[in-house]
Structure 1
Amino acid sequence: MPDIQLILRSTQVITPDGTRPASIAVSGGSIAAVLPYDAEVPSTARLEDVGDHAVLPGLVDTHVHVNDPGRTEWEGFWTATRAAAAGGITTIVDMPLNSLPPTTTVENLRVKQEVARTKAHVDVGFWGGALPDNVKDLRPLHDAGVFGFKCFLSPSGVDEFPELDQQQLANSLGEITDFGGLLIVHAEDPHHLTAAPQRNGRRYADFLASRPRDAENTAIENLIAQARRLGARVHVLHLSSSDALPLIAAAKREGVRVTVESCPHFLTLTAEEVPDGATEFKCCPPIREAANQDILWAGLADGT
């Protein structure tokens, strides 16, 4: 065993085999071994006994908008990574938009890496961005170490990160597939959004109607068709509409390389509970009804 600097002891250590009393040996900031609870503490090590507090491996949050540099009044690496560490998250992967510059070229990636290097309290990785005009930058970004590429199929809300239409999606997806990369997608169809009722005011029900389920369902259906045709690997971000789960499950059974995530707010909050005028609950796609939430939980439980 390497030199051990720390023994972390708890009556509730969460392991792949279940929860049990144990002592965790740490060397150079990494777990070297999970030892019996009463294991001898090496003379070189400091013992930290946390009693019955649960101890588990650090979590990885792959969907973080840090916005640094350029919009640190929203969030920055110093605050985001301190918050992550406080919550038990030891690695974040930063989304490519909302910072200035966005992560759409290798040069821009280097800018963000340098900013993160001086401020980060946890490990940081990066997603690249797929835009209508940067297909030539995708492979260099992949070679420079981004984990994959994000795109929007409807307006992103910031001018420097425009959405892809279906032909542009095919162009980017074909290039990414050529080098074995991953495309992660904000999947809302712009035509359904444009056709939806747009009412000004404070009622949450009106906002919910402006982001209909069909916007997600159609975008996901089109994405699956492109992935099937190209043999591409795609991931649907922040699924809100449970209606899309059968499409995704069927595509998986067929062998299409598609995965999907949802979010804590979709799994814990419901439209019925959102007060009118409470803008802190506003997100796209939106928080939907309780019955929809139940089906999302079922999809999580069955592995979809």
Structure 2
Amino acid sequence: MTYDLVLRSRRMVLPDGQRAAAVGVRDGRIATLAGYADPLDAAAEEDLGDVALLPGLVDTHVHVNEPGRTEWEGFASATRAAAAGGVTTVIDMPLNSVPPTVTAEALAVKRAAAAGRCHVDVGFWGGVVPTNLADLAELHRDGVFGFKAFLVDSGVPEFPPVDPELLGRALGMVDALFVVHAEDPRSVRESPPSARYADFVASRPPAAERSAVAAVVAAARRTGGRVHVLHLSSAEALPDLVAARADGVRLSVETCPHYLALTAEQVPDGATEFKCCPPIRDRDNQDRLWAALAAGAVDCVVSDHSPCPPALKHAETGDFAAAWGGVASVQLGLPVVWTEARRRGHGLADVVGWMATGPADLVGLSGKGRIAVGGEADLVAFDADADFHVDPGRLHHRHPVTPYAGQRLTGVVRTTWLRGQAVTGRTPRGRLLRADTA
């Protein structure tokens, strides 16, 4: 039996753990798993030696911003950056594109903008805003992976927030996954013009997350709907999340690399590249997030890649109140998380669970996020022992603004394969995904 591609690694991360193995690929899928030294007939073969082979990461929280704000990012640049970071599937958020993905017509515009431009596979979230409840069923039929809602101002006027009562109504209208930016506007105060990071953090206190999470839990408990808490920053909300799940509430939660690797103590005043909402908090909070991740209380780690033109970061004034809130990190998430995970005693299998298998399972992509026979041959050669300094000039997203500039990280992506073909960044081969055919 001849395979299109055979890859061998002494550090292959499989669903049952890490071991030396070989994988045979045919027609874009994993056709066999064999021993590291087993003979396999192949048209092409590569022995990675001690370079690890991981499943392609699945990033379910990416703001591509095209169409309408393509000067902020775009499908070509975002997916090229994703592939360079070992990400083979992204699910695009319904904002900050114009139009936002809140109607079937807007979804069609989004798909047209993405067609033929993606270097990895791309799916789409729909959105929930106060005026589109009647559109949710059609969006669901058209294959969105679920619906995003904000409980607080989103930062763009065309995607207004909903209140908990309206979120509950939406949950009762369609049996889909609802992903929620959970900050309570009653607890968030307007940040004063200031270059002091402490002033910005104080404007979005942990209580804002805990209160909003409680409202999300109550809506899910009341309706039986399925909800997912986005980009958890504050560990204070974890007890409510854990208790709700123990009661059978259909609930999951994610966090992001920047919350796991950066702390408020290390953010210089005026360094607006660190601004995101909710904010990066203190070291003790970070330790509690890691403990929750290790215990399974947090389900996955995704980037919340949210870039903007450099001018919107207001680096010249360092004013956190005026700066756009978002960290662009889809290319760096894997080494950022691995650097800190290894320091804390975690292995590659843990990282794969958080960044590949967990997100794939969240959105029902059973053929992704794991190296298993029958699954798609989305694979990553990851040199887990190599170090590098983050050079913004080597980043592929449109604007190389990053809080990680100059940092030394561990773990280098050597090659990313999408359905058994190496992603070069030259020829887009990504597919547009639908939830109803996942």
- With the shorter chain as reference, the TM-score category is over 0.9
Partner in structure 2 of residue 192 of structure 1:
187
2:259 is the counterpart of 1:266 = yes
Structure 2 counterpart of 1:67: 65
Greater RCO (Cα-Cα under 8 Å, separation 6 or more): 2
Task: Report the Cα offset of residue 84 of structure 1.
Answer: 1.0
Aligned residue for 1:182?
A: 177
- Residue 253 of structure 1 corresponds to 246
Partner of 2:218: 225
CA deviations over 1:31-66 (Å, ceiling 9, x no partner):
111122222232x51112222211111111100110
Shift of 1:99: 0.8
Of stretches 110-119 and 143-152 in structure 1, the one that deviates more from structure 2 is 110-119
Structure 1 length as normaliser, TM-score? 0.94
Query: 1:150: which partner in 2?
Result: 148
Deviation at 1:19, TM superposition (A): 2.0
* 2:123 matches 1:125: yes
- Give the direction of change, closer, same or farther, for the CA distance of 1:143–1:271 in structure 2 (3 Å limit): same
Q: As a proportion of its length, which structure holds more helix?
A: 1
One-letter amino acid of the counterpart of residue 38, structure 1: A
Q: Which runs of 4+ in 1 moved over 6 A?
A: none
User: What is the Cα deviation at residue 197 of structure 1?
Assistant: 6.2
1:130-189 deviation per Cα after TM superposition (whole angstroms, max 9, x unaligned):
11010111011111111100000010001110000233222212213xxx2111000011
Match of 1:281 in 2: 274
What is the CA distance between 1:28 and its match in structure 2?
Answer: 1.5
Instruction: Report the Cα offset of residue 18 of structure 1.
Output: 2.3
Secondary structure at 1:102 match in 2? coil
Counterpart-to-counterpart distance in 1, 2:183 and 2:83: 32
Q: Distance in 1 between matches of 2:291 and 2:18?
A: 25
Q: Which moved more, 1:167-176 or 1:115-124?
A: 167-176
Confirm or deny: 8 A CA contact 1:240 1:288 kept in the other structure.
yes
What is residue 29 of structure 1 aligned with on the other side?
Answer: 28
CA distance in 1, matches of 2:190, 2:142: 43
How far did 1:118 drift?
Answer: 1.3
Q: What are the superposed Cα offsets for residues 189-221 of structure 1, whole Å, 9 maximum, x if unpaired?
A: 11111xx36321100000000111111111111
Structure 1 distance, partners of 2:66, 2:190, is 34
> Contact conserved, 1:197 with 1:209, CA < 8 A, in 2?
no
> Post-superposition shift, 1:239?
0.6
Q: Distance in 2 between matches of 1:278 and 1:171?
A: 40
CA distance in 2, matches of 1:167, 1:11: 53
Query: Which residue does the alignment assign to 1:141?
Result: 139
Give a deviation string over 1:79-104, Cα, whole Å, max 9, x none.
Answer: 11111111111110000100111111
Contact 1:132 1:162 in 2 (8 A): yes
List runs of 5+ in structure 1 lacking aligned partners: none
TM-score (norm 2): 0.66
Quick one: which amino acid aligns to residue 238 of structure 2? L
Could you tell me how far apart the structure 1 residues matched to 2:30 and 2:69 are?
Answer: 36
Report the equivalent of 2:91. Answer: 93
Counterparts in 2 of 1:3-18, with a 5 A limit?
A: 3-18=2-17
Per-residue CA deviations over 1:236-263 (Å, capped at 9, x if unaligned) read: 0001111110011111111111111111
Equivalent position amino acid for 1:73 in 2: E
Q: What runs of 5+ residues in structure 2 fail to find an aligned partner?
A: 298-438
1:206 counterpart residue number: 199
Say which SS state the counterpart of residue 37 (structure 1) adopts.
coil
Query: What CA distance in whole angstroms lies between the structure 2 residues aligned with 1:225 and 1:4?
Result: 52
Aligned to 2:53: 55
Q: Alignment RMSD, CA only?
A: 1.3
Cα distance in 2 between the residues matched to 1:124 and 1:197: 35
Query: Among 217, 220, 242, which residue is 2:235 paired with?
Result: 242
- In 2, the alpha carbon distance for the partners of 1:129 and 1:278 equals 31
Contact 1:41 1:47 in 2 (8 A): no
Greater shift, 26-35 or 137-146, is seen at: 26-35
> Alignment identity in percent?
59
1:265, CA displacement in angstroms? 0.6
Aligned residues: 297
In 2, the alpha carbon distance for the partners of 1:113 and 1:50 equals: 36
